[in-house]
Amino acid sequence: MPEVIINGPEGRLECRYMPAEAPDAPTALILHPEPDRGGTMNNRVTYALYQHFQARGFAVMRFNFRGVGRSQGTYDSGDGELSDAATAMDWLQSQKPASSQCWIAGFSFGSWIGMQLMMRRPEIQGFIAVTPPAATHDFTFLAPCPASGLIVHGEQDTAVPPETVHKLVERLSIQKGVEIKVDVIPGANHFFTDHLDPLIEHVSAYLDEALPKPPEPSLF
């Protein structure tokens, strides 16, 4: 998985990028959890999402927010990290200008940043939000939510109780034709410690439904 260094708003951003063979391959940007609590692009949930999108033929990228790993700058409580994500998406799209679809996925803090970016980037056609921090972060910017997507949560998540996520979805003003699906994984905690495989299975099942189906081969 090639290492890439790109120029971010506060200096370099340390990234990992896997290209795709097809010129029109879809793209996906993966965002990691809380930088101020040890979150990095090598977080196991973030990495699992990255691998899954890669296996599906996406051109996929993950990166360290400012101040994490070898990325320059300091933690900015969200504003600066949103700028980092926008810069990373610009770079990713420059690699695949003919991309057929653009997706974003994030874990915890990363899902909060990703959904903010989605409000600013109409080309994002779908999202995966794992454990969005609905109990501690403001999601009122999602009014309405501009794209359909999946929220995955752990039933035993004590950091972000599942009911806060359900309340978040209920109070969103949903656009016609936009659907937010919520999957709660039984027994899973905030970090999906023993439930990483079920998490990815839920993501895979959602993408099976959401992604365009390849054309049926002609019999003639």
- pLDDT one-digit tens code per residue, 157-202: 999 988 899 888 887 767 778 899 999 999 999 999 999 999 999 9
Q: Mind giving me the DSSP string for 78-119? A: THHHHHHHHHHHHHHHHH-TT-S-EEEEEETHHHHHHHHHHH
* Six token digits for residue 168: 């978040």
> What range does the domain containing 9 cover?
3-210
At residue 130 the predicted structure's pLDDT band, cuts being 50, 70 and 90, is very high
Gap between the Cα atoms of 65 and 45, Å rounded: 16
Number of domains in the chain: 1
Asked if pLDDT for residue 218 goes beyond 90, the answer is: no
218 found inside a domain: no
The answer to whether the beta carbons of residues 117 and 102 sit under 8 Å apart is: no
Domain-embedded: residue 175 = yes
The answer to whether residue 217 sits within a structural domain is: no
Note the pLDDT tens digit of each residue in 63-120: 999 999 999 999 999 999 999 999 999 999 999 999 989 999 999 999 999 999 999 9
Which CATH number belongs to the domain containing residue 130 in this structure? 3.40.50.1820
